[in-house]
Chain A
Amino acid sequence: MRTAAIVRRTLADHRGITISMALVGLGMAVLDLAIFPAYSKQLKDFQVPSALEGFMGEAPIWTPEGFLNAEFFSWIPALYIIAGVIAATAVVAGEEGNGTLDLLLAQPVRRWQLLAAKGAGITIGVTLAVLAALPGFAIAKTWVAFDLGMWRITEATLFTLPLIWIFVAFGLWASAALPTRGAAGIVTTGTIVVTYFFNLVGATVSWLGPTQKLSPFYWGDAAPVLIHGFDWLRAGGLFAVAAAIAGLALWSFERRDISSGGKDWNLLALFKRSP
């Protein structure tokens, strides 16, 4: 009952951003499928520059798989990641900065329960927003000739979830380990940018190829799923990483002092053990 109240409250607190993201996903799904026939016709036989081939995926851009990857799955997950991270960094660091964390942690709820319940609320919200794109695809497919099954689109959509969860978990960790939302936001945004850059550059510059594999964006790429179906191994790996980061967040939060109001921080504090 206690943790359920926190989950519900977290969902309610983020309903604005959840509904907005859901509408963006749904709208983009409808719009993308609506423009596909004209797009496909115009780009038929278009040769993607070789430097961009790695980034565009193996399916040609005028095919349903290539088009959906380029116009939806290449950037929409990043939008959800940003929304999820904005919410996740507020979970602890935001409350701590606002001074409301004292009152929350004075209640008979364990720290890990509080963080897990708030993390669950955000994860549910982001997941619902991602899944809201599916009705958009389904509706648009009723009047647009789009030669890709709904099941395959669903698989690709579901495949984006572990990638998003990784960064939500990372935002939670930063929020739990760093006592200001600004610090949590900087660390998380920096990590997103760096890993996105690794994936992007690694795909187009051959000698930077190995760095690509350090990026979750590489492993969470939905392009192969649109062609070959759900990749359980990759999804499971990404899910395990997300779970590990979430575990690290719980552990970090258990170890440290709570400041009354946002306070100074330094990275060394993360490695100091509370007595």
Chain B
Amino acid sequence: MQGLTKRYGATTALDSLTLAIEPGEIFGFLGPNGAGKSTTIRLLLDLIRPTSGAAHVLGFDCRRQSHEVRARIGYLPGDLRLYHNYTGQETLEYFGRMRGMESIDGASESLADRLEFDVSRKAGAYSKGNRQKLGILLAFLGRPPVLLLDEPTSGLDPLVQHTVWDALREVAAEGSAVFFSSHVMSEVEQVCHRVGILREGKLVDVESVSHMKARAFRHVEVTFAGEMPGVLDSPTVREIRREGPVLEYEVTGEIDPLLKEIAPFHVLDLRTEQATLDEVLMSYYRGDEQ
């Protein structure tokens, strides 16, 4: 994606997005609702046209060669709607035929078994979770080299979520690129190699999950016996709670400056806790506002 921009009148849904995703990579696209995640996916599929910029998938232009692009993409919409009068099997067969498949491939049948999905029922009778399973099966049909998944585990129970994550890791290991939008941090932590953070249509940052977490702040709770330090003067250490003998800090980057500050005092206990990606995301947003 190179300078990909989509405007609706005065509203900019996506602003000059430049990003590359490698084969075998699971890329998490993070942001709150309305950040531009779905807009990006819909631009890649040529469902909507960019105001400016361009995108390529496996060398094919998403606008001019959209047919070639879509032949190589498996897609799960964020707001999945199905034909209520079709059974799961009929739905899979219909979309399979559109992909030039004579019948449902063994890999899809195997995935259906792993998801414990009953293909014989009408889509209208499926629960939200089962509809989502069918959507995931549709995206995986024919094992496309690129998967665009908009909130893929929405509505799935935790066990099934793990099955989906495993399936994503497997296809990535086989060389497929997975572009994965989410606002659930825990699943991004679980499966993604890199994360892009999107806010109001702008890509705020792209990093590996491990780097992002390492760069992020952590909570440090220190319990003192007797005298306690005063307010610390450090750009990387921020006191956020003082309650009895307990002081809680938010430490960005290395913990060493804090340890040096509290070393002269009698420390009874010290606990640290990594920030969740939710907090990381919030810190990015805060930083952007400042």
Contact = CB atoms under 8 A, between A and B. Distances in A.
A and B co-occur in one complex: yes
A267 interface: no
Contacts of B97: 1-2, 5
Contacts of B209: none
Which of the listed residues B70, B80, B97 has the most CB atoms from chain A within 10 Å of its own CB? B97
Interface in A88-117: 98-100, 102-110
Contacts of A6: 98
Contact of A100 (B45, B47, B83): B83
B100 A106 contact: no
A interface, by DSSP: helix, strand, loop or mixed? loop
A258 B75 CA distance: 15
Interface in B7-66: 38, 42, 45-52
B70 A106 contact: yes
Contact of B49 (A106, A261, A275): A275
Nearest to B39: A260
B81 interface: yes
A105 B45 contact: yes
A109 B98 contact: yes
B95 interface: yes
Given A103-B138, A110-B67, A275-B52, A260 B98 contact: no
Given A100-B82, A258-B48, A108 B77 contact: no
Contacts of A260: 38, 42, 47, 77, 79
B115 to A, nearest CB: 18
Contacts of A99: 77, 79-81
What's the interface size class on B, roughly? 20 to 34
Contact of B45 (A98, A106, A109): A106
Contacts of A106: 45, 47, 70, 73, 75, 77
A257 interface: yes
A274 interface: yes
Contacts of B48: 257-258
A105 B95 CA distance: 11
B81 A2 contact: no
Given A110-B67, A260-B42, A275 B50 contact: yes
A108 B67 contact: yes
Interface of A: 1-2, 5-6, 9, 13, 98-100, 102-110, 257-258, 260-261, 274-275
Given A108-B71, A260-B77, 12 more contacts: A1-B100, A5-B98, A99-B77, A100-B82, A103-B95, A105-B46, A106-B73, A106-B77, A108-B70, A110-B67, A260-B42, A274-B49
22 contacts: A1-B100, A2-B97, A2-B99, A5-B97, A5-B98, A6-B98, A9-B94, A13-B85, A99-B80, A99-B81, A100-B82, A103-B75, A103-B82, A105-B46, A105-B47, A106-B75, A108-B68, A110-B67, A257-B47, A257-B49, A260-B77, A260-B79
